[in-house]
Amino acid sequence: MLLNTLRQRFWPIRGRDLVRKVVDKCLICFSCKPKSIQQLMGSLPAARVTPSRAFLKSGVDYCGPFYVRPPSRRGNSMKIFVAIFVCMASKAVHIEMVYSLTSGSFLSALKRFVARRGRVTDVYCDNARTFVGANRQLQEHKQLFDELHRSEDLTNKCTKVGINFHFNPARSPHFGGLWEAAVKTFKHHLYRIMKDTLLTIEEFNTLITQIEGIMNSRPLTPLSSDPADVVALTPGHLLVGEPLFQIPEPDLCETPINRLTSFQKMQQKIQHFWKVWSSAYVGQLQDRQKWPMAHPDIKIGTLVLLKNESTPPMKWNLGRIESAFPGRDGRTRVIQVRTANGSYRRAITEVCPLPIDDVIEANRSTSATSSILIDQNQT
């Protein structure tokens, strides 16, 4: 329409390219349809590719709410949530019921998780208020404990047992794809089994525990390339040495003891599982299914629009990038944006840089050319 309007009075050379360039640099048109930026998908964190005890480094996320009945089957239905802990190395899952979104309720679930799965050194999660509040409470408890016990040996031991929280940027679920996929798989099984049935708390707890066993029996990679070998490596192999749900084996009670496997062979078998995990499974994780191309890093001081799904693009807040947080590969995927309402940490996919820098550079080049022509005319 703009090109046709111009052609009523003028016939610009390469008018289509000229109109496209002007429209792309128009701030009003850009605000109506902003374009976010991308970067090459980052490398896997060390916790994903380093063999370690199951659940030593875990990710966690909530899903729900779900409605259940009291054990007596009387009274109104109650609302509960589900916390899913995912092992960063083996993809094994641990599911806990949570009765509220408070930090205290999450801490109780975390204590149950540690009591059944062992000590956890690192917890990866989004920056929901529940997790941030739990991290704050743990830090306060540790500080009070250090103030009461000034012994250096005791303090060092407690520091080693501490849990480190790693938070993702706000509104960036793709930073936690591991536990987001676990939540999706959990809901896939839950909705197909539960359907519209209103279960009691005991029935619901039994159901989610069975789903946990199913998820821990998922195949990760074949144990060998032999076509006759139908056994696949599962998270259950790395937990208990075999899938949690497997085909029943024959009774070995009548088998002579000299034909049974020993404890050392069992340990060797578990080490073989980790060897297959390192050689076959980790290699599959290196493929970048999304964002395969590298792009120039966004510069500090760039004017951007801050995405907000609850408002139209024309009303998005305007901000300026005040700092960047490069990853281990040196590429920036998280930035700090200063707006009129405060400072926010966001992923680069949540901001849309305004095409104003190119306009400034074009004006500068035009001004430089004009000054050169003026000097030549004066000469």
Provide the residue ranges of all domains of the chain, joining segments of one domain with +: 48-215
Predicted pLDDT of residue 183: 92
30-40 confidence digits (pLDDT tens): 888 888 888 88
Contact 349, 37 (CB under 8 A): yes
1-22 confidence digits (pLDDT tens): 888 988 888 888 898 999 988 8
Predicted pLDDT of residue 33: 85
* pLDDT of 260 strictly over 60: no
Whether the model pTM is above 0.75: no
Segment 295-304 mean pLDDT: 89
Q: Which residue has the higher pLDDT, 376 or 19?
A: 19
Q: Which of 339, 301, 305 is nearest to 32 (CA)?
A: 305
* Rg of the chain over all Cα atoms, to the nearest angstrom: 29
Predicted pLDDT of residue 273: 64
Separation of alpha carbons 290 and 130, rounded Å? 30
80-110 confidence digits (pLDDT tens): 999 999 999 888 999 999 998 888 888 889 8
* pLDDT of 256 strictly over 60: no
Separation of alpha carbons 327 and 165, rounded Å? 18
Q: Which residue has the higher pLDDT, 258 or 57?
A: 57
Predicted pLDDT of residue 230: 65
Q: Which of 299, 319, 296, 302 is nearest to 356 (CA)?
A: 302
Contact 197, 86 (CB under 8 A): no
- Least-confidence region, from 76-85, 211-220, 288-297, 353-362: 353-362
Q: Which of 111, 133, 135, 122 is nearest to 86 (CA)?
A: 122
- Cα dist. 303→171, 350, 355 in Å? 20, 13, 9
Dihedral angle, C-alpha 309, 311, 317, 322, nearest 10 °? -10
Segment 248-275 mean pLDDT: 54
Residue with tokens 């497997």: 246
Q: Which of 306, 349, 300 is nearest to 322 (CA)?
A: 300
Q: Which residue has the higher pLDDT, 29 or 229?
A: 29
Predicted pLDDT of residue 55: 92
Segment 303-320 mean pLDDT: 88
* pLDDT of 149 strictly over 70: no
Predicted pLDDT of residue 30: 86
In sequence order, the 6+-apart residues with CB closer than 8 A to the CB of 288 are: 40, 41
Predicted pLDDT of residue 372: 39
Q: Which of 267, 225, 218, 266 is nearest to 243 (CA)?
A: 218
- Least-confidence region, from 63-67, 158-162, 282-286: 158-162
Q: Which of 316, 66, 371, 286 is nearest to 194 (CA)?
A: 66
In sequence order, the 6+-apart residues with CB closer than 8 A to the CB of 167 are: 125, 126, 127, 131, 132, 135
Specify the CATH architecture of the domain 48-215: 2-Layer Sandwich (3.30)
Segment 174-182 mean pLDDT: 89
Tokens (6 digits) for 151:
């012994």
- Percent of all residues in the chain with a pLDDT value above 70, rounded to a whole number: 78
Separation of alpha carbons 34 and 350, rounded Å? 11
Angle of the 129-148 helix axis to the 152-161 helix axis, nearest 10: 160
